[in-house]
Amino acid sequence: MHNIVIALGGNALQEAGKPATAQAQLQVVEKTSEYIADIIEKGYTVTLAHGNGPQVGRIVLQNECASNITPAMPFDVCGAMSQGMIGYHMQQGLSKVLKARNIDKQVVTCVTQVVVDKDDPKFKNPSKPIGPFYTKDEAEKIAQEKGYTMKEDAGRGYRRVVASPLPVEIVELDAVKCLIKNGFIAITVGGGGIPVVKNADGSLTGVAAVIDKDLASEKLAEDTDADALVILTAVEQVYINFGKPEQKALETITVDEANEYIKQGHFAPGSMLPKIEAAVKFAQSKAGRKAIITSLDKAVEALEGKAGTTIIK
């Protein structure tokens, strides 16, 4: 097993309770980079994907707040901005760590578009909250003015929601493969990729949507023929009966077992469920492939089968 895709969660890019400054983000990324460098030192070929949840929300907020001074950019453009910003921080953080360890590798961000189906049923039922909270009155006004879909979010106020369509095709895939083949560490499908739809003439148009970053990472892992998909999150292992007295950590499970646990409703939608779904999709895509879900600090051990939750065919 040599070629791996690592999907980094939000906690690998930003620490809870810390200010959302560029400096704070860079410090977290440097810490994260130490763990990634450990994996690279073990001889793995690493390609990186990442979320952009809090970052793109703040970019949208900055755009909305300054809209009376300079026109606000549409959501797909904000997604591209977040890819550039996070990629830049990861290039800086990881390059610094690799240099300190005398590892001669260059880190490159590829601003990535991902094609979605314009008829994806998810467009009919937007569910992914983005940006700030509003009162009911503010939300109604925004919905009228801008045509946004606004929904109440867990008693905390109203937020804009966008669709979360499935990834169909990674537009810059050949460029990413070229980077991997030539020994670069590629950062790609950031935030799930910039969602675009294909027009009749083959051209692409950006749409307001959020592609699940775990599903986009899974697509990337399949399309680059990776041996393993490593989804890094806040917990070391996946649990069934989470938070209950009979809570149990999962070590190695099969695709069938994982599907059974999904059916039984063990995994929360919006947090662990998409990770399990992505892991299952990858593990069953080809013999010998495996998916690992674990925490950042246990990634090396998990690749050696000593930690985390591994899903196999």
Q: Where does residue 204 rank: exposed (0-12), middle (13-18), buried (19+ CB within 10 A)? A: middle
Residue 154 has pLDDT above 80, yes or no: no
At 1 the pLDDT is 58
**Is pLDDT at 19 greater than 90 in this prediction?**
no
Q: What is the pLDDT of residue 170?
A: 98
Q: Can you give the length of the chain in residues?
A: 313
The reported pLDDT for the residue numbered 46 is: 98
Biggest CA pair distance of the chain: 57
> Taking 80 as the threshold, does the pLDDT of residue 262 lie above it?
yes
**pLDDT tens digits for 201-221?**
999 999 999 999 999 999 999
Local confidence band at 128 (pLDDT 50, 70, 90 cut-offs): confident
Q: Regarding predicted confidence, which is higher, 125 or 4?
A: 4
**Joined tokens for residue 28:** 């977290």
Residues serving a catalytic function are 10-11, 128, 213, 275
Token pair of 113, please? Answer: 């578009």
d(CA 261, CA 4): 26
Phi, psi of 10 (to 5 degrees): -55, -35
Q: What pLDDT is recorded for position 18?
A: 83
Give the DSSP H or E segment for 76.
Answer: helix 75-100
| The pLDDT value given to residue 231 | 97
Contact between residue 85 and residue 55 where contact means Cβ atoms under 8 Å apart: yes
Q: Stretch 254-258: mean pLDDT, rounded? A: 97
When mean pLDDT is compared across 11-20, 171-180, 191-200, 268-277, the lowest value belongs to 11-20
Check pLDDT > 70 for residue 273. Answer: yes
Question: In the predicted model, is pLDDT for residue 165 greater than 90?
Answer: yes
Cβ–Cβ under 8 Å, residues 139 and 129: no
Average pLDDT, the chain: 93
Q: What percent of the chain has pLDDT over 70?
A: 99
Which class in CATH covers the domain with range 3-114+185-312?
alpha beta
The percent of residues above 90 in pLDDT, for the chain, comes to 80
Instruction: State pTM to two decimals.
Output: 0.93
Tell me the average pLDDT across 117-141.
90
Whether residue 288 has pLDDT greater than 90 = yes
In this structure, how many other beta carbons lie within 10 angstroms of the beta carbon of residue 269?
A: 10
pLDDT at 227 over 70: yes
